[in-house]
Amino acid sequence: MGWKEAAEPVLTRMPAVQRPQKHVPFKRKLAWTAGILVLYFFLTNIALLGLESGEATDLFGEFRAVLAGEHGSLMQVGIGPIVTASIVMQLLGGANLLGLDTNDPRDQVLYQGLQKLLVIVMTALTALPMVFAGGFLPPVPSLTLGGFTFDQTQVQVLMFLQIFLGGVLILYMDEVVSKWGIGSGIGLFIIAGVSQRLVTGFIQPATGGVFYDWYLIITQQVEIGSLVAGDGIYTLLLEEGHIIALITTVLIFAIVVYAESVRVEIPLSHARVKGARGRFPVKLIYASVLPVILVRALQANIQFIGQILHSQWAGMPEVLGVYDAQGQPVSGFFYYTAPIYSPDDWMWWTGEVTQQAWMVMIRVSVDLTFMVIGGAIFAIFWVETTNMGPDATARQIQNSGMQIPGFRQNVSVVEKVMQRYIPQVTVIGGALVGLLAVWANMLGTVGGVEGTGLLLAVSITYKLYEEIAEEQMMEMHPMMRQMFGKE
């Protein structure tokens, strides 16, 4: 008996959100999406019961824009376990170690059940070291609830259960949006977190918002002459003035929107209905920017392991990593594999960086290589596991009754035509997105949302706009639902 037969009783009984049996009206989809978004913000504002206030260290601090969630709340782990499980599943699927055919309905159920089980396991494995390993989420010495007094160990168990519950909730919230709402829950949560930080970065006085700082400069409450004197031009461009961050943010918006519109359109015609024509678009960012989440999540997990080793292994070799008083790597493997988060991480001539120039350049090179090559590799995995590859696309075209004019109506012929475009565009798009993410991080963005977070927010919002337009079109013309396979 193979592993599929042994695991089938468990995987097929995993709790799941039931799919709608009939078409869900657009307004109801919008209501479900808005309701989950409100619930998400509500859960991010529920603090962990038993957490020592003001003492916690956010292990995913620099990755929050990508992994969503909120530090110190029920959404502590964010979408991290979901993304990590996706990485494992894509690697196993890419190496064909699972032996699952995603075109087989039975194997689809097993695949989804296995991924869900893996998310639950990853949630537990992520929450355990956060609570029990070295003061990342320090508990109060004791806690009294309803006449019962919990000691410190029991408080830690209580905190673990809260984080685990939050991780499971975000899994099923994502499933509700995917089946009953518009878009995906993961994308919705990323947009919510990034948008919140962008708005804060623009207007909040306490943290130095762009508009507020320029208001101080224009009203001469801050002398611009003092900012440009000597080395102050750096302060004007990157700190009080936010000029570079503002330009980078606007450019990323423009580049992603433009790249989403660049495509190769393959003409199609219906084999039996004369005059029925269409086009199959192969976009420049064919795999979307979502595979970049996988690359950043892999880097986040590497840094997470480094933080755990640093806190638990007093004699950790310097070749692995040396950490400063703030718990940040300053040399060794974990320093060189840490992403560039802001201009302060690599502009050594400003005096903000304590490392030597050659160390900084190695870190920049590793980050750039990791994102460009990793973006291309995960884009390929993403295309294959989501049935967007040449073979799956050829079958979809064949099943819809369409064909490419001038070619025989044969799946293998259509696949050969798709092979000319999809693999190359997938690699180029994945590498381009990785390059843009590193570039945005190096120059900085408004609100410090990180380049990857900004890329994701813009691309997901663009796709959400397209999905809303498609839903509205199908609502006005019910026959269109059959063409899009929504009926």
- For residue range 98-130, list pLDDT tens digits in order: 777 767 778 888 888 899 999 999 999 999 988
- How confident is the model at residue 413, as a pLDDT? 86
Q: What is the DSSP letter of 343?
A: G
Could you tell me the two tokens for 191? 């947009």
Average pLDDT of the segment spanning 177-194? 89
- Assigned token pair, 319: 């070749």
Q: What pLDDT digit, counting tens, does each position of 332-351 carry?
A: 999 999 999 888 888 887 77
Name the average pLDDT for the chain: 83
- Say yes or no to pLDDT of 284 above 50: yes
Same fold, 26-182 and 189-209+244-487: yes
Q: Are 328 and 311 in contact (CB under 8 A)?
A: no
Report d(CA 188, CA 421) in Å as an integer: 30
Cβ of 45: how many Cβ atoms within 10 Å?
A: 11
* Mean pLDDT confidence for 132-138: 76
pLDDT over 70 for what percent of the chain? 87
Considering only residues 384 and 2, tell me which one the structure prediction assigns the higher pLDDT.
Answer: 384
Q: Across-strand partners of 143?
A: 150
Nearest to 188 by CA among 94, 266, 82: 82
C-alpha–C-alpha distance, residues 443 and 245, integer Å: 6
Weakest-pLDDT range from 191-195, 407-411, 478-482: 478-482
Question: Structure tokens of 1?
Answer: 């008996």
**What is the distance between the alpha carbons of residues 262 and 264, in angstroms, rounded to a whole number?**
7
Mean pLDDT of 77-81: 89
User: Which residue in 192, 190, 196 sits closest to 79, CA to CA?
Assistant: 190
Please state the rounded mean pLDDT for residues 16-24. Answer: 86
Residue 42 confidence (pLDDT): 94
Give the pLDDT score at 193.
Answer: 85
Q: What CA–CA distances, in Å, run from 272 to 20, 277, 404? A: 32, 11, 13
In the predicted model, is pLDDT for residue 484 greater than 50? Answer: no
483 pLDDT band, cuts 50/70/90, is: very low
CATH class of segment(s) 26-182: mainly alpha
What are the pLDDT digits (tens) for 401-415? Answer: 778 887 777 888 888
Cβ atoms of 90 and 378 closer than 8 Å: yes
pLDDT classification of 365: cutoffs 50, 70, 90: very high
pLDDT at 133 over 80: no
At 137 the pLDDT is 83
What is the mean predicted confidence (pLDDT) over 461-475? 80
Q: At what angle do helices 290-312 and 357-385 cross, to 10 degrees?
A: 130
**Token reading at 34:** 């808005």
Smallest CA-to-CA distance from 391 within 408, 414, 368, 369 is with 414
Domain ranges of the chain: 26-182, 189-209+244-487
**Is the CATH number 3.40.50.300 carried by domain 189-209+244-487?**
no
264 pairs with which residues across the strands? 282
Beta carbons within 8 Å of 7's beta carbon, 6+ residues apart: 110, 114
Task: Say yes or no to pLDDT of 310 above 90.
Answer: no
What pLDDT score does 161 carry?
95
